[in-house]
Amino acid sequence: MAKTKQPPTPKSKSGDPSEVEVRYDLSVLPTAFHKAGLAGLVLLIESLKQRRALTAEETKCTVAATEVTVTFTEPLLQKLMDDLYDAREVEVAVKSKWQGAEVKREETVEEEVDGKKTRTKRFIYDQVQPKGAFFDNVFDGDKEIWRKLWRDMLWNIPRGRPTTREPFNQRASGKPCKEGPNAWSELLKVHKARTKKEFHTAALSSALFPGAQAVNAEAVPFEGRAEENLLLHFWPLTALLYVPQEIERDGSTNLPASSYTVAVPDVSDLCEFVTEYPKLLTGLSAEVRGYRPAQAVIDLPAEGALAFLEDLAVLTRLEIEAGKLRFSIGAVEYLHLVKAGNNVKLMAAGRVAPDQRLLVGYRAIVRPTGTAPHYRNSLFRRGLLLALLDGESWYQPFGRSFVTFDAGVFIRQPRKDDEKGPPQFASDASKKFRHLTTLFTQTLEMAVGDSVQPPKPLELLVEQVIKSYLLGKAKAKCNIDKKTKLSALGKDEQKKVYDKKRDIAAEAFLAARSRRDQDFVKYFSEVICSAGTYFDKKTSDFQVFATALNDPNKTDSIKALTLLALSANS
The predicted-structure confidence for 308-347, as pLDDT tens digits, reads as follows 998 888 776 655 444 444 678 999 999 999 998 888 999 9
- At 362-396, the pLDDT tens digits run 989 988 777 778 899 999 999 999 999 999 999 99
- pLDDT of 1 higher than 50: no
Instruction: Tell which residue, 336, 335, 332, has the closest CA to residue 354.
Output: 332
What CA–CA distance (Å, rounded) separates 511 from 374? 30
Pairwise pLDDT comparison (169 vs 222), residue with the higher score = 169
What CA–CA distance (Å, rounded) separates 5 from 398? 59
What CA–CA distance (Å, rounded) separates 407 from 380? 14
- At 488-501, the pLDDT tens digits run 888 888 888 889 99
Beta bridge mates, 264: 333
- The lowest-confidence range among 15-24, 207-216, 544-553 is 207-216
- At 130-150, the pLDDT tens digits run 999 999 988 988 899 999 999
Contacts of 66 (CB under 8 A, 6+ apart): 25, 26, 27, 268, 269, 270
Q: Give the residue extent of every domain in the chain.
A: 19-87+162-236, 238-375, 398-568
Pairwise pLDDT comparison (76 vs 161), residue with the higher score = 76
Q: Would you state the pLDDT for residue 242?
A: 97
- At 33-79, the pLDDT tens digits run 999 999 999 999 999 999 999 998 889 999 999 999 999 999 999 99
Beta bridge mates, 258: none
Enter the pTM of the model: 0.89
What CA–CA distance (Å, rounded) separates 509 from 102? 56
What CA–CA distance (Å, rounded) separates 295 from 293? 5
- The lowest-confidence range among 14-18, 186-190, 201-205, 397-401 is 14-18
Confidence of residue 417 (pLDDT cuts 50, 70, 90): low
Which one-letter amino acid corresponds to residue 267? V
What CA–CA distance (Å, rounded) separates 498 from 88? 61
Contacts of 453 (CB under 8 A, 6+ apart): 444, 447, 538, 539
Do you know the residue count of the chain? Answer: 570
SS3 label, residue 196: coil
Q: What number of other Cβ atoms are within 10 A of residue 311's Cβ?
A: 19
Helix axis angle for 425-446 and 378-390, nearest 10°, is 50
Instruction: Tell which residue, 569, 421, 426, 431, has the closest CA to residue 500.
Output: 569
Contacts of 552 (CB under 8 A, 6+ apart): 517
Detail the DSSP E strand segments found in 231-296. Answer: 240-244, 246-247, 253-254, 259-267, 288-289, 292-293
